[in-house]
Structure 1
Amino acid sequence: MSKAAPAAPPAPARRSRWLRVPFKILVWFVILSLLFVGLYRFVPPPVTLTMILDGNGITKDWMSLDDIDPDMARAAIAAEDSKFCSHHGFDAVAIAQAMRRNASGGRIRGGSTISQQVAKNVFLFQGGGFVRKGFEAWFTVLIEAFWGKRRIMEVYLNVAETGIGTYGVNAGAMRYFGHDASRLTRADAARIAAILPLPKKRAAKAPTGFTRRYGHSIAARIGVVQRDGLDACIR
Protein backbone atom coordinates (compact mmCIF):
# COMPACT_ATOMS: atom_id res chain seq x y z
CA MET A 1 0.00 0.00 0.00
CA SER A 2 1.63 3.31 -1.12
CA LYS A 3 1.98 6.19 1.25
CA ALA A 4 0.16 9.41 0.53
CA ALA A 5 2.32 12.33 -0.65
CA PRO A 6 2.94 14.94 2.06
CA ALA A 7 0.65 17.90 1.89
CA ALA A 8 2.10 21.10 0.41
CA PRO A 9 2.67 23.89 2.90
CA PRO A 10 -0.06 26.48 2.97
CA ALA A 11 0.31 29.49 0.66
CA PRO A 12 1.17 31.98 3.46
CA ALA A 13 4.06 29.73 4.57
CA ARG A 14 5.42 29.53 1.01
CA ARG A 15 5.25 33.30 0.63
CA SER A 16 7.02 33.77 3.95
CA ARG A 17 9.81 31.41 2.87
CA TRP A 18 10.37 33.30 -0.38
CA LEU A 19 10.35 36.65 1.39
CA ARG A 20 13.11 35.51 3.73
CA VAL A 21 15.60 35.20 0.84
CA PRO A 22 15.56 38.85 -0.30
CA PHE A 23 15.40 39.95 3.33
CA LYS A 24 18.59 38.01 4.13
CA ILE A 25 20.29 39.46 1.04
CA LEU A 26 19.32 42.96 2.16
CA VAL A 27 20.60 42.38 5.69
CA TRP A 28 23.94 41.06 4.43
CA PHE A 29 24.27 43.96 2.00
CA VAL A 30 23.75 46.47 4.81
CA ILE A 31 26.22 44.66 7.07
CA LEU A 32 28.91 44.44 4.38
CA SER A 33 28.33 48.07 3.40
CA LEU A 34 28.87 49.22 6.96
CA LEU A 35 31.96 47.02 7.34
CA PHE A 36 33.67 48.34 4.21
CA VAL A 37 32.72 51.95 4.89
CA GLY A 38 34.05 51.58 8.44
CA LEU A 39 37.27 49.94 7.21
CA TYR A 40 37.96 52.56 4.55
CA ARG A 41 37.50 55.30 7.12
CA PHE A 42 40.99 54.35 8.29
CA VAL A 43 42.53 52.15 5.55
CA PRO A 44 43.18 53.31 1.95
CA PRO A 45 40.99 51.38 -0.52
CA PRO A 46 43.50 48.96 -2.10
CA VAL A 47 41.78 48.85 -5.50
CA THR A 48 38.45 49.74 -7.09
CA LEU A 49 36.29 48.12 -9.77
CA THR A 50 37.08 51.02 -12.09
CA MET A 51 40.78 50.28 -11.76
CA ILE A 52 40.31 46.54 -12.22
CA LEU A 53 38.19 46.98 -15.35
CA ASP A 54 40.38 49.70 -16.86
CA GLY A 55 42.59 47.42 -18.97
CA ASN A 56 45.42 49.98 -19.05
CA GLY A 57 47.20 48.91 -15.90
CA ILE A 58 47.07 50.69 -12.54
CA THR A 59 49.48 53.41 -11.50
CA LYS A 60 48.70 54.95 -8.12
CA ASP A 61 50.55 56.26 -5.09
CA TRP A 62 48.47 57.14 -2.03
CA MET A 63 49.26 60.46 -0.35
CA SER A 64 47.56 61.81 2.76
CA LEU A 65 45.54 65.00 2.52
CA ASP A 66 47.97 66.66 4.92
CA ASP A 67 50.79 66.14 2.42
CA ILE A 68 48.92 67.08 -0.77
CA ASP A 69 49.29 70.76 -1.66
CA PRO A 70 46.15 72.56 -0.34
CA ASP A 71 45.50 74.15 -3.74
CA MET A 72 44.71 70.70 -5.15
CA ALA A 73 41.70 70.26 -2.88
CA ARG A 74 40.68 73.85 -3.60
CA ALA A 75 40.95 73.17 -7.33
CA ALA A 76 38.73 70.10 -6.98
CA ILE A 77 36.13 72.14 -5.08
CA ALA A 78 36.33 74.94 -7.65
CA ALA A 79 35.92 72.58 -10.59
CA GLU A 80 33.67 69.83 -9.29
CA ASP A 81 31.69 70.88 -6.23
CA SER A 82 31.70 74.46 -4.95
CA LYS A 83 29.25 73.55 -2.17
CA PHE A 84 31.29 70.59 -0.92
CA CYS A 85 31.63 71.97 2.60
CA SER A 86 28.00 73.05 2.93
CA HIS A 87 25.98 70.13 1.55
CA HIS A 88 25.40 66.70 3.11
CA GLY A 89 26.34 64.67 0.06
CA PHE A 90 23.83 65.95 -2.50
CA ASP A 91 23.45 69.28 -4.26
CA ALA A 92 19.76 69.57 -5.16
CA VAL A 93 20.29 72.72 -7.24
CA ALA A 94 23.08 71.14 -9.33
CA ILE A 95 21.01 67.98 -9.87
CA ALA A 96 18.01 70.01 -11.03
CA GLN A 97 20.16 72.07 -13.39
CA ALA A 98 21.72 68.92 -14.85
CA MET A 99 18.27 67.42 -15.41
CA ARG A 100 17.13 70.53 -17.25
CA ARG A 101 20.24 70.60 -19.44
CA ASN A 102 19.96 66.92 -20.26
CA ALA A 103 16.25 67.24 -21.09
CA SER A 104 17.05 69.99 -23.59
CA GLY A 105 19.37 67.66 -25.53
CA GLY A 106 23.07 67.80 -26.26
CA ARG A 107 25.87 66.32 -24.21
CA ILE A 108 24.65 64.52 -21.10
CA ARG A 109 25.99 66.09 -17.93
CA GLY A 110 25.63 65.01 -14.32
CA GLY A 111 25.11 66.92 -11.10
CA SER A 112 27.16 64.64 -8.88
CA THR A 113 28.96 66.02 -5.86
CA ILE A 114 32.46 64.95 -4.86
CA SER A 115 30.85 62.74 -2.20
CA GLN A 116 28.74 60.97 -4.83
CA GLN A 117 31.77 60.50 -7.06
CA VAL A 118 33.70 58.92 -4.18
CA ALA A 119 30.79 56.59 -3.43
CA LYS A 120 30.73 55.50 -7.07
CA ASN A 121 34.49 55.25 -7.55
CA VAL A 122 35.21 53.31 -4.36
CA PHE A 123 32.23 51.00 -3.94
CA LEU A 124 30.56 50.71 -7.34
CA PHE A 125 31.26 50.88 -11.06
CA GLN A 126 30.87 53.27 -13.98
CA GLY A 127 27.53 53.25 -15.80
CA GLY A 128 24.55 51.30 -14.53
CA GLY A 129 21.84 53.93 -14.82
CA PHE A 130 19.25 54.46 -12.11
CA VAL A 131 20.04 51.19 -10.29
CA ARG A 132 23.63 52.23 -9.74
CA LYS A 133 22.47 55.72 -8.79
CA GLY A 134 20.36 54.18 -6.04
CA PHE A 135 23.33 52.32 -4.58
CA GLU A 136 25.43 55.44 -5.03
CA ALA A 137 22.97 57.42 -2.92
CA TRP A 138 23.15 54.78 -0.17
CA PHE A 139 26.95 54.85 0.00
CA THR A 140 26.97 58.65 -0.21
CA VAL A 141 24.83 58.84 2.92
CA LEU A 142 27.12 56.38 4.69
CA ILE A 143 30.42 58.11 3.91
CA GLU A 144 28.99 61.51 4.79
CA ALA A 145 27.88 60.09 8.14
CA PHE A 146 30.97 58.02 9.02
CA TRP A 147 33.91 59.58 7.17
CA GLY A 148 33.46 63.32 7.28
CA LYS A 149 34.56 65.84 4.68
CA ARG A 150 38.34 65.56 5.16
CA ARG A 151 38.34 61.81 4.61
CA ILE A 152 35.99 62.09 1.64
CA MET A 153 38.29 64.63 -0.01
CA GLU A 154 41.38 62.56 0.82
CA VAL A 155 39.91 59.45 -0.79
CA TYR A 156 38.66 61.43 -3.78
CA LEU A 157 42.08 62.89 -4.50
CA ASN A 158 43.61 59.40 -4.29
CA VAL A 159 41.17 57.34 -6.38
CA ALA A 160 40.04 59.80 -9.06
CA GLU A 161 41.31 58.88 -12.51
CA THR A 162 43.94 61.39 -13.63
CA GLY A 163 45.14 59.79 -16.84
CA ILE A 164 45.18 56.55 -18.80
CA GLY A 165 45.80 53.88 -16.16
CA THR A 166 46.66 56.61 -13.64
CA TYR A 167 44.74 57.12 -10.40
CA GLY A 168 45.06 59.83 -7.78
CA VAL A 169 46.53 63.29 -7.95
CA ASN A 170 49.93 62.14 -6.67
CA ALA A 171 50.38 59.67 -9.53
CA GLY A 172 48.97 62.32 -11.86
CA ALA A 173 51.49 64.90 -10.67
CA MET A 174 54.33 62.44 -11.27
CA ARG A 175 52.96 61.60 -14.72
CA TYR A 176 52.57 65.18 -15.93
CA PHE A 177 55.01 67.29 -13.92
CA GLY A 178 57.70 64.91 -12.67
CA HIS A 179 57.18 65.64 -8.99
CA ASP A 180 54.74 64.57 -6.30
CA ALA A 181 51.51 66.28 -5.28
CA SER A 182 53.07 68.04 -2.31
CA ARG A 183 54.86 70.43 -4.70
CA LEU A 184 51.98 71.40 -6.99
CA THR A 185 51.72 74.99 -8.10
CA ARG A 186 48.29 76.57 -8.40
CA ALA A 187 48.48 76.14 -12.18
CA ASP A 188 49.43 72.46 -11.79
CA ALA A 189 46.49 71.81 -9.48
CA ALA A 190 44.09 73.61 -11.81
CA ARG A 191 45.29 71.58 -14.81
CA ILE A 192 44.79 68.28 -12.99
CA ALA A 193 41.30 69.39 -11.94
CA ALA A 194 40.55 70.37 -15.53
CA ILE A 195 41.14 66.84 -16.81
CA LEU A 196 39.11 65.01 -14.15
CA PRO A 197 35.88 64.82 -16.19
CA LEU A 198 37.67 63.21 -19.18
CA PRO A 199 41.05 61.91 -17.98
CA LYS A 200 41.55 59.57 -20.94
CA LYS A 201 41.07 62.35 -23.48
CA ARG A 202 42.68 65.33 -21.74
CA ALA A 203 46.25 65.88 -20.57
CA ALA A 204 47.43 68.23 -17.84
CA LYS A 205 50.84 68.79 -19.40
CA ALA A 206 50.92 71.51 -22.09
CA PRO A 207 47.11 71.54 -22.46
CA THR A 208 45.51 73.22 -25.45
CA GLY A 209 42.07 74.45 -26.44
CA PHE A 210 39.25 73.93 -23.97
CA THR A 211 41.42 72.15 -21.40
CA ARG A 212 43.82 75.09 -21.28
CA ARG A 213 41.02 77.66 -20.96
CA TYR A 214 39.24 75.55 -18.34
CA GLY A 215 42.46 75.21 -16.37
CA HIS A 216 42.94 78.99 -16.33
CA SER A 217 39.35 79.41 -15.14
CA ILE A 218 39.84 76.91 -12.31
CA ALA A 219 43.12 78.57 -11.28
CA ALA A 220 41.28 81.87 -10.91
CA ARG A 221 38.53 80.23 -8.84
CA ILE A 222 41.05 78.58 -6.47
CA GLY A 223 41.61 82.01 -4.97
CA VAL A 224 37.88 82.47 -4.51
CA VAL A 225 37.61 79.12 -2.74
CA GLN A 226 40.38 80.12 -0.34
CA ARG A 227 39.13 83.68 0.18
CA ASP A 228 35.51 82.71 0.83
CA GLY A 229 36.36 79.72 3.03
CA LEU A 230 34.73 77.20 0.70
CA ASP A 231 37.41 74.73 1.81
CA ALA A 232 36.94 75.38 5.55
CA CYS A 233 35.71 71.83 6.24
CA ILE A 234 39.00 70.26 5.15
CA ARG A 235 41.51 72.67 6.66
Structure 2
Amino acid sequence: MWKGGGDLESAPVLYPGIPSDENVYRWAFIRKVYCLLLTQILLTVVVSAVVVFYHPVAAALTSSPAILIVLCILPFVFLCPLFYYHQQHPLNLLLLGLFTVCISLTVGIVCAYTEGRIVLEALILTAGTVLGLTLYTFWAAKRGYDFNFLGPMLSVALMVLILFCFIQLLFPLGPLSLTIYGALAAILFSFYIIYDTDNLIKRYDYDQYIWASVALYLDILNLFLAILDLLRGIQGR
Protein backbone atom coordinates (compact mmCIF):
# COMPACT_ATOMS: atom_id res chain seq x y z
CA MET A 1 0.00 0.00 0.00
CA TRP A 2 1.14 3.53 -0.75
CA LYS A 3 2.13 5.18 2.57
CA GLY A 4 2.93 8.63 1.32
CA GLY A 5 -0.56 9.85 2.17
CA GLY A 6 -3.30 10.41 -0.38
CA ASP A 7 -4.80 8.36 -3.18
CA LEU A 8 -3.15 6.46 -6.01
CA GLU A 9 -2.76 9.57 -8.12
CA SER A 10 -0.62 11.21 -5.41
CA ALA A 11 2.31 8.90 -6.25
CA PRO A 12 4.61 10.44 -8.91
CA VAL A 13 4.56 8.45 -12.15
CA LEU A 14 7.76 6.45 -12.48
CA TYR A 15 7.68 5.87 -16.24
CA PRO A 16 5.13 6.20 -19.06
CA GLY A 17 2.53 3.44 -19.31
CA ILE A 18 2.88 2.06 -15.79
CA PRO A 19 -0.53 1.18 -14.25
CA SER A 20 -1.48 3.37 -11.28
CA ASP A 21 -1.59 0.50 -8.76
CA GLU A 22 1.73 -0.87 -10.03
CA ASN A 23 3.20 2.62 -9.69
CA VAL A 24 2.19 2.74 -6.03
CA TYR A 25 3.61 -0.68 -5.21
CA ARG A 26 6.80 0.06 -7.12
CA TRP A 27 7.34 3.25 -5.11
CA ALA A 28 6.89 1.28 -1.88
CA PHE A 29 9.46 -1.25 -3.12
CA ILE A 30 11.90 1.54 -4.02
CA ARG A 31 11.58 3.09 -0.56
CA LYS A 32 12.24 -0.30 1.04
CA VAL A 33 15.38 -0.84 -1.04
CA TYR A 34 16.75 2.63 -0.31
CA CYS A 35 16.14 2.16 3.42
CA LEU A 36 18.20 -1.02 3.30
CA LEU A 37 20.85 0.70 1.18
CA LEU A 38 21.11 3.63 3.58
CA THR A 39 21.47 1.20 6.50
CA GLN A 40 24.28 -0.62 4.67
CA ILE A 41 26.09 2.65 3.93
CA LEU A 42 25.78 3.84 7.54
CA LEU A 43 27.05 0.49 8.79
CA THR A 44 30.00 0.73 6.41
CA VAL A 45 30.80 4.24 7.65
CA VAL A 46 30.71 3.12 11.29
CA VAL A 47 32.81 -0.02 10.79
CA SER A 48 35.32 1.79 8.57
CA ALA A 49 35.62 4.62 11.10
CA VAL A 50 36.44 2.11 13.85
CA VAL A 51 39.18 0.58 11.70
CA VAL A 52 40.57 3.99 10.72
CA PHE A 53 40.55 5.70 14.11
CA TYR A 54 41.30 2.70 16.36
CA HIS A 55 44.73 1.76 15.07
CA PRO A 56 45.05 -1.64 16.84
CA VAL A 57 42.13 -2.92 14.73
CA ALA A 58 43.82 -1.92 11.46
CA ALA A 59 47.12 -3.35 12.69
CA ALA A 60 45.48 -6.66 13.63
CA LEU A 61 43.64 -6.94 10.30
CA THR A 62 46.84 -6.32 8.33
CA SER A 63 49.16 -8.36 10.54
CA SER A 64 49.05 -11.37 8.24
CA PRO A 65 48.42 -11.93 4.52
CA ALA A 66 46.14 -14.82 5.49
CA ILE A 67 43.81 -12.44 7.34
CA LEU A 68 43.60 -10.17 4.30
CA ILE A 69 42.83 -13.14 2.06
CA VAL A 70 40.07 -14.28 4.43
CA LEU A 71 38.57 -10.77 4.46
CA CYS A 72 38.49 -10.79 0.66
CA ILE A 73 36.82 -14.22 0.53
CA LEU A 74 34.26 -13.81 3.34
CA PRO A 75 31.84 -11.53 1.45
CA PHE A 76 31.53 -14.16 -1.30
CA VAL A 77 30.98 -16.82 1.37
CA PHE A 78 28.01 -14.88 2.77
CA LEU A 79 26.62 -14.20 -0.71
CA CYS A 80 25.89 -17.91 -1.22
CA PRO A 81 23.47 -18.36 1.71
CA LEU A 82 22.14 -14.85 1.06
CA PHE A 83 21.15 -15.98 -2.42
CA TYR A 84 19.41 -19.07 -1.03
CA TYR A 85 17.65 -17.36 1.91
CA HIS A 86 17.03 -13.92 0.38
CA GLN A 87 13.25 -14.28 0.96
CA GLN A 88 13.45 -15.64 4.53
CA HIS A 89 13.08 -12.78 6.99
CA PRO A 90 14.91 -12.01 9.30
CA LEU A 91 17.69 -14.43 8.26
CA ASN A 92 18.17 -12.53 5.02
CA LEU A 93 18.77 -9.29 6.92
CA LEU A 94 21.28 -10.99 9.23
CA LEU A 95 23.23 -12.37 6.28
CA LEU A 96 23.06 -8.99 4.56
CA GLY A 97 24.49 -7.37 7.70
CA LEU A 98 27.35 -9.87 7.91
CA PHE A 99 28.09 -9.38 4.22
CA THR A 100 28.18 -5.61 4.72
CA VAL A 101 30.44 -5.80 7.78
CA CYS A 102 32.97 -8.00 5.96
CA ILE A 103 33.21 -5.59 3.06
CA SER A 104 33.31 -2.63 5.45
CA LEU A 105 36.39 -4.04 7.18
CA THR A 106 38.22 -4.11 3.85
CA VAL A 107 37.12 -0.57 3.06
CA GLY A 108 38.31 0.51 6.50
CA ILE A 109 41.75 -0.97 5.86
CA VAL A 110 42.04 0.90 2.56
CA CYS A 111 41.01 4.17 4.21
CA ALA A 112 43.30 3.61 7.20
CA TYR A 113 46.35 3.61 4.92
CA THR A 114 45.21 6.55 2.80
CA GLU A 115 45.64 10.22 3.62
CA GLY A 116 42.55 11.58 5.36
CA ARG A 117 42.14 14.46 2.93
CA ILE A 118 42.02 12.10 -0.01
CA VAL A 119 39.39 9.93 1.71
CA LEU A 120 37.25 13.00 2.40
CA GLU A 121 37.54 14.18 -1.20
CA ALA A 122 36.56 10.71 -2.45
CA LEU A 123 33.54 10.65 -0.11
CA ILE A 124 32.32 14.04 -1.32
CA LEU A 125 32.82 13.16 -4.98
CA THR A 126 31.09 9.80 -4.52
CA ALA A 127 28.11 11.33 -2.74
CA GLY A 128 27.68 14.01 -5.39
CA THR A 129 28.02 11.53 -8.25
CA VAL A 130 25.56 9.02 -6.77
CA LEU A 131 22.98 11.71 -6.05
CA GLY A 132 23.31 13.22 -9.52
CA LEU A 133 23.14 9.87 -11.35
CA THR A 134 20.18 8.69 -9.27
CA LEU A 135 18.18 11.85 -9.93
CA TYR A 136 19.08 11.70 -13.61
CA THR A 137 17.93 8.06 -13.92
CA PHE A 138 14.57 8.80 -12.28
CA TRP A 139 14.18 11.84 -14.55
CA ALA A 140 15.09 9.81 -17.64
CA ALA A 141 12.74 6.94 -16.71
CA LYS A 142 9.85 9.37 -16.29
CA ARG A 143 10.47 10.56 -19.85
CA GLY A 144 10.53 7.06 -21.30
CA TYR A 145 14.26 6.41 -21.55
CA ASP A 146 15.42 2.85 -20.92
CA PHE A 147 18.94 1.71 -19.96
CA ASN A 148 18.50 -2.05 -20.14
CA PHE A 149 20.72 -2.14 -23.24
CA LEU A 150 23.71 -1.28 -21.02
CA GLY A 151 23.73 -4.71 -19.35
CA PRO A 152 25.82 -6.74 -21.84
CA MET A 153 28.26 -3.89 -22.48
CA LEU A 154 28.82 -3.32 -18.76
CA SER A 155 29.46 -7.04 -18.18
CA VAL A 156 32.15 -7.08 -20.87
CA ALA A 157 33.69 -3.86 -19.55
CA LEU A 158 33.75 -5.29 -16.02
CA MET A 159 35.63 -8.40 -17.19
CA VAL A 160 38.19 -6.21 -18.96
CA LEU A 161 38.59 -4.10 -15.82
CA ILE A 162 39.12 -7.19 -13.66
CA LEU A 163 41.80 -8.38 -16.11
CA PHE A 164 43.45 -4.97 -15.93
CA CYS A 165 43.40 -5.20 -12.12
CA PHE A 166 45.15 -8.59 -12.18
CA ILE A 167 47.80 -7.24 -14.53
CA GLN A 168 48.32 -4.27 -12.20
CA LEU A 169 48.75 -6.64 -9.23
CA LEU A 170 51.28 -8.82 -11.03
CA PHE A 171 53.13 -6.04 -12.82
CA PRO A 172 52.66 -2.74 -10.96
CA LEU A 173 53.09 0.18 -13.33
CA GLY A 174 53.12 2.97 -10.76
CA PRO A 175 50.86 5.98 -10.15
CA LEU A 176 49.97 6.42 -13.84
CA SER A 177 48.50 2.92 -14.03
CA LEU A 178 46.60 3.51 -10.78
CA THR A 179 45.18 6.74 -12.17
CA ILE A 180 44.06 5.07 -15.39
CA TYR A 181 42.48 2.17 -13.49
CA GLY A 182 40.68 4.53 -11.10
CA ALA A 183 39.32 6.65 -13.96
CA LEU A 184 38.07 3.65 -15.95
CA ALA A 185 36.53 2.02 -12.87
CA ALA A 186 34.82 5.27 -11.85
CA ILE A 187 33.25 5.60 -15.31
CA LEU A 188 32.18 1.95 -15.34
CA PHE A 189 30.51 1.98 -11.93
CA SER A 190 28.83 5.30 -12.68
CA PHE A 191 27.11 3.55 -15.58
CA TYR A 192 26.33 0.61 -13.29
CA ILE A 193 24.52 2.99 -10.91
CA ILE A 194 22.36 4.18 -13.81
CA TYR A 195 21.74 0.61 -14.98
CA ASP A 196 20.86 -0.81 -11.55
CA THR A 197 18.71 2.20 -10.64
CA ASP A 198 16.80 1.70 -13.89
CA ASN A 199 16.34 -1.97 -12.96
CA LEU A 200 15.09 -0.88 -9.55
CA ILE A 201 12.48 1.35 -11.18
CA LYS A 202 11.29 -1.13 -13.80
CA ARG A 203 12.49 -4.70 -13.57
CA TYR A 204 13.23 -6.04 -10.08
CA ASP A 205 10.52 -8.28 -8.60
CA TYR A 206 9.11 -7.18 -5.26
CA ASP A 207 10.80 -10.10 -3.45
CA GLN A 208 14.23 -9.08 -4.78
CA TYR A 209 14.72 -6.13 -2.44
CA ILE A 210 17.85 -7.73 -0.95
CA TRP A 211 19.52 -8.15 -4.34
CA ALA A 212 18.52 -4.67 -5.45
CA SER A 213 20.12 -3.24 -2.32
CA VAL A 214 23.28 -5.36 -2.72
CA ALA A 215 23.68 -4.32 -6.37
CA LEU A 216 23.42 -0.59 -5.63
CA TYR A 217 25.60 -0.92 -2.52
CA LEU A 218 28.39 -2.58 -4.50
CA ASP A 219 28.06 0.02 -7.26
CA ILE A 220 28.46 2.87 -4.77
CA LEU A 221 31.27 1.19 -2.86
CA ASN A 222 33.23 0.37 -6.00
CA LEU A 223 32.72 3.92 -7.26
CA PHE A 224 34.16 5.26 -3.98
CA LEU A 225 37.18 2.93 -4.16
CA ALA A 226 37.73 3.83 -7.83
CA ILE A 227 37.70 7.55 -7.05
CA LEU A 228 40.06 6.85 -4.15
CA ASP A 229 42.47 5.07 -6.52
CA LEU A 230 42.15 7.92 -9.01
CA LEU A 231 43.02 10.57 -6.42
CA ARG A 232 45.88 8.51 -5.01
CA GLY A 233 47.27 7.96 -8.49
CA ILE A 234 47.07 11.66 -9.34
CA GLN A 235 48.98 12.52 -6.18
CA GLY A 236 51.56 9.79 -6.85
CA ARG A 237 50.74 7.66 -3.81
Q: TM-score range by the shorter chain?
A: under 0.3
TM-score, length basis structure 2: 0.25
